Structure 1
């Protein structure tokens, strides 16, 4: 769950991204996992989902680092956060994210998917399923 004010807009990185609606100071906690808000989806339900739902999950969910067999789907703007090899946030301790530097109002908020998604590879056009990665113990 994002803990800072954001909005979604066109991104120079990919499609749309999440942007700071107000300045964010270095060290600010910007996100934390809230199972009462964010969805934890059992992998075994994936095969029975309609194809349109599978496409949504493949694009916006990721394997839960601490609950094998589950996918995390953020229901707020967090799901639009784009990957960067030089992000302005730190998600290396799963369950929370902080700003690594001051983030200006209107600046895209980015994260490094490798910090919470073991084996992440940016696929061409985001094709493919994430279920195999989530099923790993």
Structure 2
């Protein structure tokens, strides 16, 4: 779950993005996996889906780095965080995200999707767990 005040808006990176409402100092805990709200979905369940549900999960979920039998579907707007080669948020931990530098109000929160996928992330290709 996001632990900072954000809003959604049109992103210059891709579709919708997550933007800071207030100044976020470097080192701030921005997001924390909270199993009370964030969903861990079995890969078998995910792979059994088709159509719009599968497409939505393809776009807004990622492999659980702690257990390859699951994917993570975030319950809040964190799922709209976009990729950047030089992100302002560190997602190297599977359970916590920190601000890598000061983030100004109105700035888009970004992360490096390559942390979520063993073989790296192809920004131009499909994003599949």
TM range (shorter): over 0.9
Give 1 or 2: higher helix fraction: 1
1:18 aligns to 2:18 (yes or no): yes
Report if the CA contact (8 A) 2:21-2:106 is conserved.
Answer: yes
The residue that corresponds to 1:108 in the other structure is 108
Alpha-carbon separation, structure 1, partners of 2:7 and 2:71: 24
Q: Which moved more, 1:64-73 or 1:112-121?
A: 112-121
Deviation at 1:46, TM superposition (A): 2.0
The residue that corresponds to 1:97 in the other structure is 97
Alpha-carbon separation, structure 1, partners of 2:49 and 2:108: 32
Deviation at 1:91, TM superposition (A): 1.4
The Cα RMSD (Å) is 1.5
1:8 aligns to 2:8 (yes or no): yes
Alpha-carbon separation, structure 2, partners of 1:88 and 1:101: 6
Alpha-carbon separation, structure 2, partners of 1:62 and 1:48: 16
The residue that corresponds to 2:74 in the other structure is 74
Please list every run of 5 or more consecutive structure 1 residues that lacks an aligned counterpart in the other structure: 131-137
Alpha-carbon separation, structure 1, partners of 2:111 and 2:123: 17
Query: What CA deviation, in whole Å up to 9, does each residue of 1:77-118 have, x standing for no partner?
Result: 100000111000111122101101110111000001122332
Alpha-carbon separation, structure 1, partners of 2:33 and 2:114: 17
TM-score by length of 2: 0.92
* Aligned partner of residue 87 in structure 2, secondary structure: coil
1:65 aligns to 2:65 (yes or no): yes
TM-score by length of 1: 0.87
How many equivalent pairs are there?
129
